[in-house]
Structure 1
Amino acid sequence: MSCSRGRGRAQSVRAAIVAAAAIWLLATMLAEPGLAQSEVPEPRAEVTVTALTRVLGPGTIPALDDPARDLSYPEDLELRVLVDNVGSAPLTGAQLVVEVHPPTLTRGLLAAALEGDLTGPALHVHTQPLSDEGPVQPGELIGLTDRFARQEVIWAGGTGGVHPVRIAVLLGTEVLDEVVTAVVWLNDVPTTPLLASLIWPIDTPPWRGPGGSYPSGVERETRPGSRLDRLVGAVERAPANVPVVLAPAAHLLEDLSDRSDGYVSQVRTEAGNLEPRRVGPSDAGAIDATALLRRIRDIAGLSPLTPISSSYADADLAALLAGDAVHGELAAIAAADGRRRLQRQLGVEVDGATHLIGAPLDSAVLDVVPGETLLLPSHVTDLPALGNDPELGPPVRPLRAPSGRMLTGLVGDPYLAAGLDQLGSGTGAIVASQRVLAETAMAYLTSPGSGPRGLVLLPEQVWDPPGAVADELLEALGGAPWLRFVSPATVTAQAQRSSSVLGLAPPASGALDAELGPELSAVWTDLHAAVDASPPETTRLEGRPIEQLRDDLLRATSAWFRGDGTAQAAALVRDVRRVVDATFGVVEVAAQPVTLTSDTGQVPVTLERTRGGPLQVVVTVESQGRLLWPEGRRSELIELSEGTAQTVSFATQAVSTGTFPVTVVVTDPAENRELARDALSVRSTAISRPALAAVGILVLVLLLVGSLRRRPERPTLEVVRDTDGAPPDRDVGGGGTR
């Protein structure tokens, strides 16, 4: 019995082992194809254009007076590329393919082609292997050149054209990577170049935070290699024939100036708390700020074109004008202050006729902005979408404000705006800058001989082109004979203009957020009240410059702080509120009941300054009509100092006996902020002189009326007899009875 059980257990174990082995073998067989497939390396490559003949044809060199002179011009398309094997597999049999396509007919078709939407066959195609020495190994970088001779390509006729060029790396039929650019062919020398204005914004969100301190990362914004450094450096190295129109933000220059003397930075500790750290004038952060400010001032002073300004702190004027009356006041101040502040920081004249608009606006804004010309990005206007290849018309358009005021709108080109925004897209400096150049050429070639036309290149305020790309862009534009760079005022005055009034796209957001708007109005009003209540010649409140406090409230209206930035704006407002409340401090009223033993007397009010510095206040009294105030209800200015008390008296006159309540209110001189309030009672026990006079007059009137109402004596009646003896009821005249 036991032997049979042992044999049964052994057979069961062997069966389990066999089953497990079968399952493992089956799983391995099923997994091997997927495993083998996942282990196959995927071929990948990246292509970068490092050189390109941007503009070709006889129209690239102006004709000279001597017709016998041999004029040479670029007629062969040459390019150089780098191909990087960024995959993990060798590239065997991969090829570089370069296609030159026919010239595009419209700006919309060119934009689509540059996005990769190429239709129709190429004019000419070149193909070459990536390497003649075998596979390109992973991580290997291959440099290749290609050249299209003049006779190989049927270039554009007429004045010229813009030819898309496709450069791709192919492995069999698979496209590993490709870029699309475009080259310009000119047959005729441009005789009427476009009047082009290249705006160069240098802008950031306001840096200075509550308490006048700066965030810990602010040093990164000004160090060498930063975005601001690259933008300024590109202008410093720009060709002389490409003058840009500087548009630096006034608040940025103010922050750079403030930091140059040293500043306080908020540093986060290991515990996660923010602690102030003093940065001295000799520290790197202050030195970099000083150097950047000096460079901006230098290029502004050397530029042949006048800088332009925008609203201070890039205030959201549309949101402010949708708010209350205080917001409207802030909008008017911010709109007008931008130019004045920028001119003070740069030390040069700033264009007073042109105002740069960055944030969305509505028609109400047109009545508060200064100047005669508004420089507008296309997305804030009612220009049609680009997808349908619309007719854009001239960039110079009339604008009409609700009041009837007429202005001129100068609209940034939407195709160029898209190209400028993609300068940092990673396509490389040559391709990115060539797109902008090709777009300007297409704008010219759509109507090359139709008189002076304008073109505005207006990037976004936040644009961030890599340094090499910005340099390549300016270098490329310098080689465009169809462009003449001028100021916005010149474009407005000399270029063709449309007669149709330009419409505005309504802003997506309305008034300031509920958590910010009402408090901003209240703090702005209280700040002015605190300044009025301070002694004359006061320049600081609680150690903070008054101008800086005002600036912080203006900065809280910045379009940079809409949406996710509302918390930063609210922090600025709260900080000013703290300063205002500390300035007013505490004023207490000591008012005791008053008893008048005659019809006139004095009501004394004692004020005590228990906390806060010197402060000017006024006291007013409020009562019902039983008390008169012959010398007025409002006191003269009273200056209080901390720890002192002063008493002011009000002359009063009671018109009747009784006890009357009086309210005492202490305010700033403009009566905008109530500092203290108390109530007292005035008891009158004597009849006032006016009351006695009134009683006397009443008695006299009653006596007079009584005397006039006495009845006169009645006369004595006598009986008179009729001498004729006629009966009394008889009619003497005869003729019958009654």
Structure 2
Amino acid sequence: MGAVVATALAVLPALTPLPSAPSAEAAEPPSRLAAVLPTADDTQLPALAVSEITPAAVGEKTTVTIRGLVINTTDRTLDDITVRLRYSPYPLADRKALERHSDSPDTAPYQSGPTTSPDNTPLPPGSAASFELKADAEDLDLYGGFGVYPVILEATSGQEGELGEVHTFLTYTGSEKPKKLQTAWVWPLMDRPQRADDDTYLTSDLAAELTEDGRLGRLLTIGAQDGEIDSSYTGPTPGPEETATQSPSPSPSPAPSSSPAATSAPDDTEAQPGPTPEKAPTTADPVPITWAVDPALLDDIHRLGERSYWSLSNADGSGPALEEHEATTDAQVWLAHARLWLAEDPVLAVPYANPDLPALLGADLAGDAQTAVELSRSTVASLLGREADTGLAWPADGVMDKATLEFLHSHGATTFLLDESAMPAQNWLGHTPSGAAPLSLPGGEKGTALVIDRGLSRVLGADTHTPGSSALALQRFVAETAMIAAEAPDAKRTVVLAPPQDWDPSAAYATGLLDATENLPWLSPVSLTEVRAGEADAEDRKGLTYPDKAADAQLGADHLDRLGSIRRQVQLFNSVLEEGQDPFRPAVLRLESAWWRRDDEGADTVLDRVDQAVQEHKGKIYVIPGDPITLASKNGTLGVLVANDLSDQSVTVHLSIFSENSERLSIGDYTESMEIGPGGKTTVYVPLSATVNGRTVLHLSLHNADGEPITDTPTTIPVNATGLGSGALIISGVAALVLVTALAPRAVRRWQRERARGDESAAAGPAPDGPTAADDETVGSTMPHNDRGQVGEQNGESAEDTRS
């Protein structure tokens, strides 16, 4: 098949052409392997790599051609290299035998086939040589007719012996024409949530995935089948009536408010719409596919192209840090092409962010589940310009309990994509059952279960980015589908092909799968919406079940407890916004995603970041702290400045103030409720009244209409009362007058006595040998007690005067 050739060319470009290995006499140095097989530094290169096996379906008169590379991974020059085919002439019995041959190195077919030698030998270390091995089907003597035959390719050298081997398959049809299997494709454009809060991405990887060579770019282009991304085409921009369904995005909390990049996209991201991309004409109808999208991923991509954004990084080892990135035009281009190319095909949309519905419904969060469905539909309508098929549902991990079934059915779902564990095959069944089975719905209605083949999903999800892996994975897919067809060649069955939701195939492999679906003689591609289940199909499968492993894998109690705490803070923040605004609604839904079932570390990261973002946004509504206040009189007025630094939302808040000492400083009536526009401020004037001098503290906080505080820590303002009123002055004056009235007569009498003594001393004159006034004290202090008392009486001092 041509697709297999494309696989080889995409994965092993060395084949067209391969540099010649130099001879011993060559003057030029040998070509290094890095130039032949570009690959990641940490990828272990194989000694033998298969680039293509043609044809995929081998007929009686077919010549099988196998091409590939022999790679010298040793440190010696290799010579005498041989590539040999070994096989079994008998087909494998069942799919388990196929798996054993693919995975086990111990299975060794005994029949020797043709051999070949690479052209360019001797082969220096680090070089590769191409080989081509041919075998006629009639010479292989394949006895079993239509079936899958095990094959081993071996590479050996005279110096090193065995270099490497590859296990693969030949699918032989012979002269038979098996009954065709209906094959229905589900093509996922999905991923885990890429953002925590609306402006902070978990990594910076998404932008690279949207390029033509990136994961999502490849899936979109290959799923469109012969489409090509035009980097100048940004398509029609959603109008106001379309974007009105989107929830308002909070301003980037990490970004400085003065940064223009935080509010508008740079000019160079505004690409002018180019000509509408068209699909190249094809000779065959495209393979019908049903696109499976997570609207949260579409929303993440849309935000990426709007304006600058932030990503978390652990590059310095010190924990998450924020890194700013410019808006990317690639996001606008990818979304425009998705809007164009998904316009006609069926689209299945999971609820926003693919929530863990069993966990939410079990935790009485049915309102969040309802919101996820509503936001999913509005996002698809806004960003893709169409509606998804509401009759299709894909529960997380393909399993659902009774409550989830009832919930999804209540929103229109009648056809459910399920994992094999949700509706396993009967134990007695000897073949792979049809992927379509009847399903009983609430109210006695009949629905359809589309059961995804787990073995094929593993094959589809194989790593095909290493050398030679695409060709081998494609050959395994061919063998698996042939084995299913051969198990019950007369039964009419359907195979549902649904890769993992984070599918990352190489371009060659994805293209080869679609071509194989179209061209293999035992496959008949159909649209998923056309698949119908027959009553006979119900007998081959057990009834709907919710596996214990699935119940154990649900979001745990710790995650839901933290989620509940964040939801309460979000509700508190929303309570001061205009009615109906809920800017953190998408962020909360992303926290409820089933993707976090298997990623505890990632779950902790998003919980921490959203919690921090909510606190940051609450912190943008605050009382601006003021300087300490000196109150110079009994009455005064305090001006309180309240700010709203949110760039997109108006708020209505209530101000509460209390004094630590209400007897010293009381608060009068003031305007408690206020509405503040985005980026606005308002002043509230508060009357104060002091009764006693001294210091006290005012505590100011903001709350919603129900009295719940918005600010975690109240703002404090010290107040110092230094001036008193007239009443206090009168009281102080009266007290002073009483004191003066009581002490004045006593002071006058003392003054008169002192004056009289002075006059008597002056009239008598000094005694010739008598003591002086100073000596009186000395004498008095040395006299006997009775004598001192006499002296006191001579000085005219009574005991009462002394006490006075």
User: TM-score, normalised on structure 1?
Assistant: 0.65
Secondary structure class of the residue paired with 1:348: coil
Is the counterpart of residue 420 in structure 1 residue 408 in structure 2? no
Whole-Å Cα distance in 2 between the matches of residues 170 and 310 of structure 1? 51
Q: Using the TM superposition, name which of 100-109 and 163-172 deviates more.
A: 163-172
In structure 1, the partner of 2:185 is 198
Contact 1:222 1:228 in 2 (8 A): yes
Whole-Å Cα distance in 2 between the matches of residues 645 and 501 of structure 1? 70
Partner deviation per Cα, 1:406-430 (whole Å, 9 max, x = no partner): 6532211122112112242634322
Is the counterpart of residue 517 in structure 1 residue 560 in structure 2? yes
Whole-Å Cα distance in 2 between the matches of residues 205 and 373 of structure 1? 24
Alignment counterpart, residue 356 of structure 1, candidates 386, 394, 398: 394
Partner deviation per Cα, 1:482-506 (whole Å, 9 max, x = no partner): 2222232322356962243132323
In structure 2, the partner of 1:446 is 487
The sequence identity of aligned pairs, in percent, is: 22
In structure 2, the partner of 1:114 is 102
Contact 2:295 2:352 in 1 (8 A): yes
Deviation at 1:556, TM superposition (A): 1.1
Deviation at 1:446, TM superposition (A): 1.4
Cα RMSD over matched residues? 4.3
Whole-Å Cα distance in 2 between the matches of residues 397 and 417 of structure 1? 19
Whole-Å Cα distance in 1 between the matches of residues 154 and 554 of structure 2? 50
Shift of the 218–610 alpha-carbon distance from structure 1 to 2, 3 Å rule, reads same
Shift of the 675–137 alpha-carbon distance from structure 1 to 2, 3 Å rule, reads closer
Contact 1:48 1:81 in 2 (8 A): yes
One-letter identity of the residue aligned with 2:510: A
Whole-Å Cα distance in 2 between the matches of residues 528 and 167 of structure 1? 64
In structure 1, the partner of 2:213 is 225
Secondary structure class of the residue paired with 1:419: helix
In structure 2, the partner of 1:287 is 329
Deviation at 1:555, TM superposition (A): 0.7
One-letter identity of the residue aligned with 2:115: Q
Contact 1:78 1:145 in 2 (8 A): yes
In structure 2, the partner of 1:259 is 304
Partner deviation per Cα, 1:532-554 (whole Å, 9 max, x = no partner): 54345x75xxxxxx34x210111
Contact 1:157 1:187 in 2 (8 A): no
Shift of the 354–646 alpha-carbon distance from structure 1 to 2, 3 Å rule, reads farther
Whole-Å Cα distance in 1 between the matches of residues 653 and 49 of structure 2? 74
Secondary structure class of the residue paired with 1:112: helix
Whole-Å Cα distance in 1 between the matches of residues 710 and 153 of structure 2? 75
Deviation at 1:574, TM superposition (A): 0.9
Deviation at 1:434, TM superposition (A): 1.5
Contact 1:246 1:300 in 2 (8 A): yes
Contact 2:114 2:133 in 1 (8 A): no
Is the counterpart of residue 574 in structure 1 residue 560 in structure 2? no
Alignment counterpart, residue 407 of structure 2, candidates 359, 362, 368: 368
Is the counterpart of residue 377 in structure 1 residue 419 in structure 2? yes
Deviation at 1:152, TM superposition (A): 0.8
Whole-Å Cα distance in 2 between the matches of residues 520 and 455 of structure 1? 39
Contact 2:120 2:129 in 1 (8 A): no
Shift of the 274–110 alpha-carbon distance from structure 1 to 2, 3 Å rule, reads closer
Secondary structure class of the residue paired with 1:242: coil
Contact 1:317 1:361 in 2 (8 A): no
Deviation at 1:289, TM superposition (A): 1.1
The runs of 5 or more residues in structure 1 that have no matched partner are 1-42, 59-73, 281-285, 540-545, 588-607, 620-636, 648-664, 678-738
One-letter identity of the residue aligned with 2:334: L
Contact 1:53 1:79 in 2 (8 A): no
Deviation at 1:450, TM superposition (A): 1.8
Is the counterpart of residue 87 in structure 1 residue 74 in structure 2? yes
Secondary structure class of the residue paired with 1:104: coil
Is the counterpart of residue 328 in structure 1 residue 370 in structure 2? no
Partner deviation per Cα, 1:600-629 (whole Å, 9 max, x = no partner): xxxxxxxx995559655799xxxxxxxxxx
Is the counterpart of residue 436 in structure 1 residue 477 in structure 2? yes
In structure 2, the partner of 1:57 is 59
Shift of the 534–84 alpha-carbon distance from structure 1 to 2, 3 Å rule, reads closer
Secondary structure class of the residue paired with 1:314: coil
Shift of the 524–97 alpha-carbon distance from structure 1 to 2, 3 Å rule, reads same
Is the counterpart of residue 167 in structure 1 residue 153 in structure 2? yes
Contact 2:620 2:643 in 1 (8 A): no
Deviation at 1:345, TM superposition (A): 2.1
Deviation at 1:347, TM superposition (A): 1.9
In structure 2, the partner of 1:560 is 595
Contact 1:81 1:143 in 2 (8 A): yes
Partner deviation per Cα, 1:382-441 (whole Å, 9 max, x = no partner): 63799x997542222355679988653221112211211224263432221121122112
Deviation at 1:186, TM superposition (A): 2.3
One-letter identity of the residue aligned with 2:180: P
Partner deviation per Cα, 1:613-647 (whole Å, 9 max, x = no partner): 9655799xxxxxxxxxxxxxxxxx96555434799
Whole-Å Cα distance in 1 between the matches of residues 295 and 205 of structure 2? 21
Deviation at 1:366, TM superposition (A): 2.0
Shift of the 611–344 alpha-carbon distance from structure 1 to 2, 3 Å rule, reads closer
Is the counterpart of residue 463 in structure 1 residue 503 in structure 2? yes
Is the counterpart of residue 103 in structure 1 residue 140 in structure 2? no
Secondary structure class of the residue paired with 1:232: helix
Whole-Å Cα distance in 2 between the matches of residues 275 and 120 of structure 1? 54
The 5 A counterparts of 1:517-666 are: 517-525=560-568, 527-528=570-571, 530-531=573-574, 533-535=576-578, 546-547=582-583, 549-561=584-596, 562-575=599-612, 577-578=614-615, 581-582=618-619, 610=642, 612=644, 615-616=651-652, 640=675, 642-644=682-684
Whole-Å Cα distance in 2 between the matches of residues 267 and 524 of structure 1? 22
In structure 1, the partner of 2:793 is none
| Higher RCO by CA contacts (8 Å cutoff, separation 6 or greater) | 2
**Equivalences, count:** 549
Whole-Å Cα distance in 2 between the matches of residues 126 and 511 of structure 1? 52
Whole-Å Cα distance in 2 between the matches of residues 349 and 299 of structure 1? 14
Deviation at 1:52, TM superposition (A): 2.2
Secondary structure class of the residue paired with 2:448: strand
Partner deviation per Cα, 1:620-679 (whole Å, 9 max, x = no partner): xxxxxxxxxxxxxxxxx96555434799xxxxxxxxxxxxxxxxx99756x5946699xx
Deviation at 1:375, TM superposition (A): 0.8
One-letter identity of the residue aligned with 1:49: S
In structure 2, the partner of 1:297 is 339
Shift of the 447–343 alpha-carbon distance from structure 1 to 2, 3 Å rule, reads farther
In structure 1, the partner of 2:166 is 179
Whole-Å Cα distance in 2 between the matches of residues 108 and 412 of structure 1? 18
Shift of the 419–329 alpha-carbon distance from structure 1 to 2, 3 Å rule, reads same
One-letter identity of the residue aligned with 1:56: V
Shift of the 534–414 alpha-carbon distance from structure 1 to 2, 3 Å rule, reads closer
Shift of the 675–207 alpha-carbon distance from structure 1 to 2, 3 Å rule, reads closer
Contact 2:179 2:522 in 1 (8 A): yes
In structure 2, the partner of 1:729 is none
Shift of the 579–87 alpha-carbon distance from structure 1 to 2, 3 Å rule, reads same
Contact 1:50 1:80 in 2 (8 A): yes
Whole-Å Cα distance in 1 between the matches of residues 564 and 348 of structure 2? 30
In structure 2, the partner of 1:48 is 50
One-letter identity of the residue aligned with 2:356: D
